[in-house]
Amino acid sequence: MKPIHLRPRQNLSLLALCFAFFAAAPASSGADEIVILELHGPIDRFQAVYVQRALAQAQRDQARLVVLEIDTFGGRVDSALRIANALGNSPVPTAAWVANTSTGTGVSWSAGALIAFATRQIFMAPGTSIGAAAPVVQAPGGAAAPADEKTLSAIRAQMAALAERNGHSMVIARAMVDASLEAHLVEVDGSPRIVDAEGLRLLEQRTASGEIELRVEKKIIGPGSLLTLTAGEMESLGVSAGSPQSVQELADLLDLENSSFRLVRPDTPDRIVALLTGGGFTTLLILTGLIALFLEITNPGFGLPGTVAVAAFATFFAANMLLGRVGSVEIILFVTGLLLLVVEIFILPGFGVAGVTGLASITLSLIFGLQEFILPEEAWQWDVATGNILVVLGSLGAALAIMVGLAFFLPRRSFFSRLALATTQNASEGYSVQPREVHDHLLHKEGTVRTDLRPVGSVLLEEGEIITAESQGEFVERGSIVEVIRVDGNRVVVRRKG
Same domain, 446 and 398: no
Segments in 64-141 forming alpha helices (H): 77-89, 111-117
Same domain, 56 and 133: yes
Same domain, 141 and 78: yes
Task: Report the CATH number at residue 479.
Answer: 2.40.50.140
Dist CA 160 CA 177 (whole Å)? 10
What does the DSSP assignment read for 135-196? -EEEPTTS-EEEPPHHHHHHHHHHHHHHHHHHT--HHHHHHHH-TT--EEEEEETTEEEEE-
Q: Is residue 37 part of a domain?
A: yes
Q: What is the pLDDT of residues 61-104, one digit of tens each?
A: 999 999 999 999 998 888 899 899 999 999 999 999 999 988 89
- Whether the pLDDT of residue 350 is over 60: the answer is no
Q: Is residue 175 part of a domain?
A: no
- Whether the pLDDT of residue 296 is over 80: the answer is no
Q: Are 100 and 106 in contact (CB under 8 A)?
A: yes
Same domain, 325 and 242: no
Q: Are 470 and 455 in contact (CB under 8 A)?
A: yes
Same domain, 282 and 264: no
Dist CA 161 CA 149 (whole Å)? 18
pLDDT score for 419: 47
Task: Report the CATH number at residue 164.
Answer: 3.90.226.10
Same domain, 344 and 229: no
Q: Are 374 and 329 in contact (CB under 8 A)?
A: yes
DSSP-assigned letter for residue 223: T
Q: What is the mean pLDDT of the segment spanning 416-434? A: 55
Same domain, 452 and 391: no
Same domain, 316 and 326: yes
Q: Is residue 255 part of a domain?
A: yes
Domain span at residue 431 reads 427-496
The answer for residues whose C-beta is within 8 angstroms of residue 326's C-beta and 6 or more apart is 9, 13, 317, 318, 320, 368, 369
DSSP, collapsed to helix, strand or coil, labels residue 444 as coil
- Whether the pLDDT of residue 325 is over 70: the answer is yes
Same domain, 253 and 371: no
First to last CA, the chain: 90
DSSP, collapsed to helix, strand or coil, labels residue 37 as strand
The answer for residues whose C-beta is within 8 angstroms of residue 181's C-beta and 6 or more apart is 171, 174, 175, 196, 197, 221, 223
pLDDT score for 31: 61
Q: What is the pLDDT of residues 143-166, one digit of tens each?
A: 566 777 878 888 899 999 999 999
Dist CA 188 CA 171 (whole Å)? 16
Same domain, 42 and 82: yes
Q: Cα dihedral angle (22, 23, 27, 33), rounded to 10 degrees? A: -20
Same domain, 241 and 97: yes
**Facing residues of 458 across strands?**
468
Domain boundary among 213, 242, 269: 269
pLDDT score for 195: 96
Q: Is residue 421 part of a domain?
A: no
Domain boundary among 379, 395, 416: 416
Q: What is the pLDDT of residues 1-50, one digit of tens each?
A: 333 333 333 443 433 434 343 333 444 444 678 999 999 999 988 888 88
Q: Is residue 245 part of a domain?
A: yes
Q: What is the pLDDT of residues 94-135, one digit of tens each?
A: 999 999 988 899 999 999 999 999 999 999 999 999 999 888
Q: Is residue 290 part of a domain?
A: yes
Lowest mean pLDDT among 174-183, 289-298, 340-349: 340-349
Q: Is residue 176 part of a domain?
A: no
Q: Is residue 422 part of a domain?
A: no
**Facing residues of 273 across strands?**
none
- When divided into structural domains, the chain yields a total of 4
Same domain, 325 and 453: no
C-alpha closest to that of 299 among 120, 419, 429: 419
